[in-house]
A and B are shown apart, each in its own frame.
Chain A
Amino acid sequence: MRLTTAATATNQKPFKGQTLLHGLIAWYVVLWVFLAIDPVDRHDWLLENILAMGLVIILVTTYRRFPLSDLSYLFLTVFMTLHAIGAHYTYSKVPLGFWMQEWWGLERNHFDRIAHFSFGLLLAYPLRELFLRRVHVRGFWAYYLPISGILALSGFFEILESWVALLVRPELGEAYLGTQGDEWDAQKDMTVAVFGAFFTIMLTYALSKLVSQKSLPAPP
């Protein structure tokens, strides 16, 4: 089985033959249900899952008209897995984050930063695929626009987070779970997301230069 990429995803097999996709869906559904049984804070879990479910619905409904490449779905699933774990533990109580906190003597649970970094790292590629195959941009723009898009989505997410905080828990203010008392939280979250996106895009650029153009099928 060959993994399709943004460049080779034009002629996807029918869904029945997509073993990888079946595996990814099964993995996410099982994990999501398992983590939904007894989250640390049901209320926060629900809030965290609104956007995640929105993304799942978009991916499912657009599959027939615009199936993404295997690589993009793989990246999306890894990100959704991280987010499902974060949502279960309300992000600030993820065990991995506590271990890191202890090992390196950090002042807070940094799992949310990992998730923000992964947002850029893992979603820049699907976004690039969208720009390449749907908007038909080429060259520089196909590298620049995904980074710009990730930056904007991160900013938009921070705006949404502040609205939720002001609506749902105005009394908590600064101590709201997302910021964990850090006054520069929003800026740091956006920064790591951009770094993640930049890394992926640079890697994609390097690989596309290194991999022999002839080994890939001709573009449509």
Chain B
Amino acid sequence: MKHLVTVGLLLWYVGFFLFMGIEPFDPQSWAFANILPLLFVGVLTISYRYLPFSCASYVLFAMFLTLHTVGSHYTYAQVPFGLWLEELFDLPRNHFDRIVHFCFGLFFAHPLLELFKRVPGMSAWIRAGLVVVTLVGLGGLWEILESWVTRIVHPELGLAYLGAQGDIWDAQKDMAATLYGALSWLVIMIISRKLTGSRVGWPRESSLELPHASDHGSYRH
């Protein structure tokens, strides 16, 4: 059953990716924006046998990647949904990229928690804290990579290129959006735990029984 879901999600992503690869608005920025997602899907596929995530996590990955695929087709700044929002709420710019940054924090939190479940010796709260910290860090890393691509490929365009849309505080706002997404996940988790009085939503220990390659004693210094 799980294989069916994961293979289905992979097929969906590959199909949708190819469909959205037909005549993207800016082929060059589309290609750059899709290097990391493709690598990520490749890693997920290869590591599936050794480091499986839960079905829920794969669904969350697929949801995020779908959003990103849409965004990269329209170079983010031209996504119809964002343009529609812009008109509706009279916004100064297309906010679709902010939504996707927020979703990165919201959707990747649960898989990361599953990953940290494999690290022995952590309490639930430390684990949850590390999830938020890691997401902000990854958000920062994305901004760094984005700035490198821009400075190498289109140094003359500067902040007008790619995600920034001319906003000097774009990087900070993007990272803040990721932070809010991660914090939203944290709030949802806490509420669901309070309501059910159980660990619903947290991955079960039993589903993650893997020998951890930890105690080889080389950590000391």
A66 to chain B, nearest CB (A): 14
Q: Report 30 cross-chain contacts, Cβ distance below 8 Å, ordered by A residue.
A: A7-B220, A136-B121, A137-B120, A137-B122, A139-B213, A139-B216, A141-B119, A142-B219, A149-B133, A151-B140, A152-B134, A152-B136, A152-B140, A155-B137, A155-B139, A156-B175, A158-B172, A158-B175, A159-B176, A161-B172, A173-B168, A179-B168, A186-B171, A186-B172, A187-B144, A187-B147, A190-B143, A208-B221, A209-B218, A213-B217
A7 touching B221, Cβ below 8 Å: yes
> Across the interface, which residues of A come within 8 angstroms of B79, CB to CB?
none
Which A residues, 50 to 80, have Cβ-Cβ distances below 8 Å to chain B? none
Q: What 0/1 pattern do residues 117 to 128 of B give for CB contact below 8 A with A?
A: 001111000100
Q: B31 at the A/B interface (Cβ < 8 Å)?
A: no
Interface string of B202-221 (1 = CB under 8 A from A): 00000000000111111111
- A211 beta carbon closer than 8 Å to chain B: yes
A149-B133, A159-B172, A159-B175 are known contacts. Are A154 and B220 too (CB-CB below 8 A)? no
Q: Could you tell me how many residues of chain A have their Cβ less than 8 Å away from some Cβ of chain B?
A: 45
Residue numbers of B with Cβ under 8 A of A are 119-122, 126, 130, 133-137, 139-141, 143-144, 146-147, 151, 158-159, 168-169, 171-173, 175-176, 179, 213-221
Distance, CA A142 to CA B120, complexed state (A) = 12
Tell me which residues across on chain A come within 8 A of B169, comparing CB atoms.
162, 165-166
A145 within 8 A of B: yes
Instruction: Give the shortest distance, in Å, between A136 (CB) and chain B (any CB).
Output: 4
Contacts of A163 in B (CB 8 A): 172
Contact A183 B141 (CB under 8 A): no
The reply to whether B218 and A137 form a contact with Cβ atoms under 8 Å apart is no
CA separation between A213 and B179, bound complex, in Å?
40
> Closest residue of chain B to A128, judged by CB?
B221
Task: Check A138 against B219 for contact (C-beta < 8 Å).
Answer: yes
Q: Is A6 an interface residue (CB 8 A)?
A: yes
Q: How far is the CA of A207 from the CA of B176 in the complex (A)?
A: 37
Residues of B within 8 A of A183 (CB): 158-159, 168
Task: Find chain A residues with CB under 8 A from B137 CB.
Answer: 148-149, 151-152, 155
| Complex CA distance for A148 and B214, rounded to whole angstroms | 19
B140 touches A132 (CB 8 A): no
A104 at the interface (CB under 8 A from B): no
Q: With an 8 A cutoff between CB atoms, is A168 at the interface?
A: no
Chain A residues proximal to chain B, CB less than 8 Å: 5-7, 132, 135-139, 141-142, 145, 148-149, 151-152, 154-156, 158-159, 161-163, 165-166, 173-174, 179, 183-184, 186-188, 190-191, 194, 204, 207-209, 211, 213, 216, 219
Measured between beta carbons, the chain B residues less than 8 angstroms from A190 are 140, 143-144
Cross-chain contact A154 with B221 (CB below 8 angstroms): no
| Nearest chain B CB to A93 CB, angstrom units | 22
Whether A132 pairs with B175 at a CB distance below 8 angstroms is no
Q: How far is the CA of A194 from the CA of B139 in the complex (A)?
A: 13
Q: Could you tell me the distance between the alpha carbons of A7 and B159 in the complex, rounded to whole angstroms?
A: 46
Which single residue of chain B is at the shortest CB-CB distance from A125?
A: B221
Residues of B within 8 A of A135 (CB): 121-122, 126
Q: Tell me whether A162 and B172 are in contact (CB under 8 A).
A: yes
Task: Assess whether B218 is in contact with A184, with CB atoms less than 8 Å apart.
Answer: no
- When chains A and B are docked, how far (Å) is the Cα of A148 from the Cα of B175? 15
Q: Which residue of A lies closest to B118 (CB)?
A: A141
Give the complex CA separation of A184 and B158 in angstroms.
Answer: 9
CA distance A151 to B176 in the complex (A): 14
Contact present for A208 and B140 (CB under 8 Å): no
Q: Provide the residues of chain A in CB contact with B176, threshold 8 Å.
A: 159
- Provide the bound-state CA to CA distance between A165 and B135, in Å: 24
Using A138-B214, A139-B214, A151-B140 as known contacts, say yes or no to A158 and B219 having CB atoms under 8 A apart.
no
Are A137 and B121 in touch, CB under 8 angstroms? yes
